[in-house]
Structure 1
């Protein structure tokens, strides 16, 4: 009672590939399609993400600027002889920023009209203003320069504006180190 259209498990099996040409195409594509897919995945994963136009945050200079140290340590020999700077050297390093241009109402170097009333108050009053600060000028005492060096700068500024102030005497420790 078997029907001619019934499939017999022992008989030949037919699939979608019916010719040798179809078999070759199927075998070749079964190798090429995965290789092509792998190549595309590698290109996608390996592609560098490009920052947006105008973004410089990943450039080496920008990174170096962000990771630079906040401060530095300077080691000095405490037993080394003190080198005292002249009034002009201190003026150039500290005072010239404001007294050279007249910024924040500072009297300019050599301006006799602006310095005249200040010189009349005397050396001690000028030195106190420099050490403790006055108006927009920050206190200069206790910084990198000694009070003696600040005093030299005060005399330099005053004398450039017509003052006749004498250079302050060197402190004992500096005087003995200089000899």
Structure 2
């Protein structure tokens, strides 16, 4: 019985992780792809490591702060005015790695 409970718990955890990943992809497709899909206005393009390298060296807190306050042509919070700092972290990771 314990094995069934553990297996079920693990399955729900995996499903929850998949849902979070899909939510990130959906948010990217609704808000970030506008600029990061093409590199518009100098935005680093999706999963182009060279374009993200210098930015990632700053560290995630600095990147989230830049998104929150706006940077270059990107307005504060980009196009996702309801995103939380945690969601921005997931979006940055997704955009910079494609994963």
TM range, normalised to the smaller chain?
0.5 to 0.7
- Partner residue, 1:145: 83
Contact 1:101 1:108 in 2 (8 A): yes
- Look up the SS of the partner of 2:81 in the other structure: coil
Query: Matches of residues 13-92 of structure 1 in structure 2 within 5 Å?
Result: 86-92=23-29
- Look up the SS of the partner of 1:126 in the other structure: helix
- With structure 1 as the length reference, what TM-score do the two structures score? 0.39
5+ residue gaps, structure 2, are 1-19
Of 93, 102, 106, the residue aligned with 2:43 is 106
Q: Write out per-residue CA displacement over residues 112-145 of structure 1, whole angstroms, 9 at most, x where no aligned residue.
A: 1111111111111111111111000011188232
Higher relative contact order (Cα pairs below 8 Å, separated by 6+ residues): 2
Q: Write out per-residue CA displacement over residues 66-110 of structure 1, whole angstroms, 9 at most, x where no aligned residue.
A: xxxxxxxxxxxxxxxxxx773222211111000001110111001
Contact 1:127 1:151 in 2 (8 A): yes
**Rg larger in 1 or in 2?**
1
5+ residue gaps, structure 1, are 1-83, 162-179
- With structure 2 as the length reference, what TM-score do the two structures score? 0.67
- Partner residue, 2:95: 157
How many pairs are equivalent? 79
Give the distance between the partners of 2:25 and 2:67, measured in 1 at CA: 15
Give the distance between the partners of 1:125 and 1:87, measured in 2 at CA: 20
Runs of 4+ in 1 over 3 A off after TM superposition: none
Give the distance between the partners of 1:159 and 1:132, measured in 2 at CA: 23
Give the distance between the partners of 1:111 and 1:158, measured in 2 at CA: 7
Aligned-residue offset at 1:154: 1.4
- Look up the SS of the partner of 1:144 in the other structure: coil
Instruction: Tell me which protein shows more helix as a share of its residues.
Output: 2
